[in-house]
Amino acid sequence: MHEIPFEEILQNLRELIAKKVLIQTPEGLKREAQALAEFLEKNGIEVIISGDINYGACDLADKEAKMLGCDVLIHLGHSYMQLNLEVPTIFVPAFAKVDVVKVLEKNLDEIKKLGKKIALVTTVQHIRDLERAKAFLEEKGFQVFIGEGDNRVSFSGQVLGCNFTTAKVGEEVDGILFIGAGYFHPIGVALATKKPTLAINPYSGDFAWMDKEVEKIVRKRWGMIARAYDAKKFGIIISTKKGQLRLGEAKRIMKLLKEHGREAQLIAMNYISPEALDGFDFDAYVVVACPRVPIDDAERWRKPVLTPPEVKLLLGLREGYEFDEILG
Ligand code: SF4
């Protein structure tokens, strides 16, 4: 269950004198998008809902909004990301209605294993509860730090699947406590900080330590690097999604590969999928876009697919595994 502030959105649209809007939504908020469209139409605003899949604020439909003659884009589910946009955009992060403190209380014995000094991070869904969580933990005797992060994140303590800068709090902490669902974010946090990381899922109330998960994923990634070892021709995939476009990094990777005797070609894609690459004759790929793409569903890729830090490992230019991050 998520809260969408209908009245506040309407107020913002009136201030922007919007007559026609495009609503963009992630999979999990499609019904809320529909309800919002109905509400806005009743209030005299023409609405189009984008049916395209959306995974983040890195992929805004501002160009489509302009093409469709919309004055404003309403982006549901994710917080503000600094990008050069073609229409005014209202970001509506979805805040979960779930009691975070209750699950912290339930898992207090496990949290104690992290040590006394801890950094606290979460995804945008639970960001409003972070200060309350901090106060609760401090009451229980912990020293709690919430990192500010860089410009890619909107809130202190917020992590994205491609940015873990808030987990590096600039203090020598004993461990990191992540509040949220899924493993991708806390694995990234554990790899980025090299600290014991405990994930507490506020929906199920369960906890999970990340060391085993990190081991599992890193082992798989080394397997992927090994498969690319003899690759001669590399396709370097860049994204045409504004918040994932990293042309400079892609060129640096291309240069590195060429300096090490490999061939490399840039490929631009909007939706990156293994199937779309089928007709090409490359031995391996490097995805210089969303860092989740090469890692999620890694088994679907028929050719080895690496991240930029993995290319450096392949070429022997660095030691120790690191997640790919997009810094702001
Ligand atoms: Fe999420 Fe990937 Fe976009 Fe980062 S680049 S915000 S991980 S979808």
The ipTM of this complex is 0.99
Ligand 1 pocket, mutate which of 237, 292, 296, 297 (most atoms under 8 A from CB) = 292
Q: How far is the CA of 153 from the centre of ligand 1 (A)?
A: 11
Q: How far is the CA of 162 from the centre of ligand 1 (A)?
A: 5
Residue nearest to atom 6 of ligand 1 (CA): 56
CB-based contact 312:291 (threshold 8 Å): no
Q: Which atom of ligand 1 lies closest to the CA of 59?
A: 3
Residue ranges per domain, the chain? 2-94, 100-215, 228-314
Residues with CB under 6 A from ligand 1: 55-56, 58, 160-162, 243-244, 290, 292, 326
Q: What pLDDT does 32 receive?
A: 94
- Shortest CA distance to 43 belongs to which of 76, 10, 21, 88? 10
Query: What is the C-alpha to C-alpha distance for residues 176 and 182, in angstroms, rounded to an integer?
Result: 16
Full DSSP string of 219-232: HHHHHHHHHTTT--
Fold of 100-215: Rossmann fold (3.40.50)
Residue nearest to atom 7 of ligand 1 (CA): 161
11: number of Cβ within 10 Å: 11
Could you list the mean pLDDT of each consecutive 10-residue stretch along the chain, which spans 328 residues?
88 98 95 97 98 94 98 96 95 92 97 97 95 97 96 96 93 95 93 94 96 93 96 98 96 98 97 92 97 88 96 95 93
Q: What pLDDT does 10 receive?
A: 98
Give the residue carrying structure tokens 């028929």: 302
Strands (E), the chain: 2-3, 20-24, 46-49, 72-77, 89-93, 95-96, 117-122, 143-145, 175-179, 197-200, 207-209, 233-239, 263-269, 284-288, 305-306
CATH code for the structural domain at 2-94: 3.40.50.11840
Residue nearest to atom 2 of ligand 1 (CA): 290
Q: How far is the CA of 66 from the centre of ligand 1 (A)?
A: 23
CB-based contact 25:50 (threshold 8 Å): yes
Q: What pLDDT does 232 receive?
A: 98
Topology match between the domains 2-94 and 100-215: yes
Handedness of CA 100, 204, 221, 54 (dihedral sign): negative
Query: What is the C-alpha to C-alpha distance for residues 191 and 322, in angstroms, rounded to an integer?
Result: 6
Residue nearest to atom 5 of ligand 1 (CA): 290
Ligand 1 pocket, mutate which of 80, 150, 162 (most atoms under 8 A from CB) = 162
CB-based contact 58:77 (threshold 8 Å): no
Burial grade of 76 (CB within 10 A; 0-12, 13-18, 19 or more)? buried
Q: What pLDDT does 99 receive?
A: 92
Q: What pLDDT does 3 receive?
A: 78
Ligand 1 pocket, mutate which of 54, 164, 244 (most atoms under 8 A from CB) = 244
CB-based contact 94:2 (threshold 8 Å): yes
Which CATH superfamily groups domain 228-314? Diphthamide synthesis DPH1/DPH2 domain 3 (3.40.50.11860)
Q: How far is the CA of 290 from the centre of ligand 1 (A)?
A: 5
Ligand 1 pocket, mutate which of 152, 290, 323, 324 (most atoms under 8 A from CB) = 290
Q: What pLDDT does 1 receive?
A: 64
Q: How far is the CA of 211 from the centre of ligand 1 (A)?
A: 23
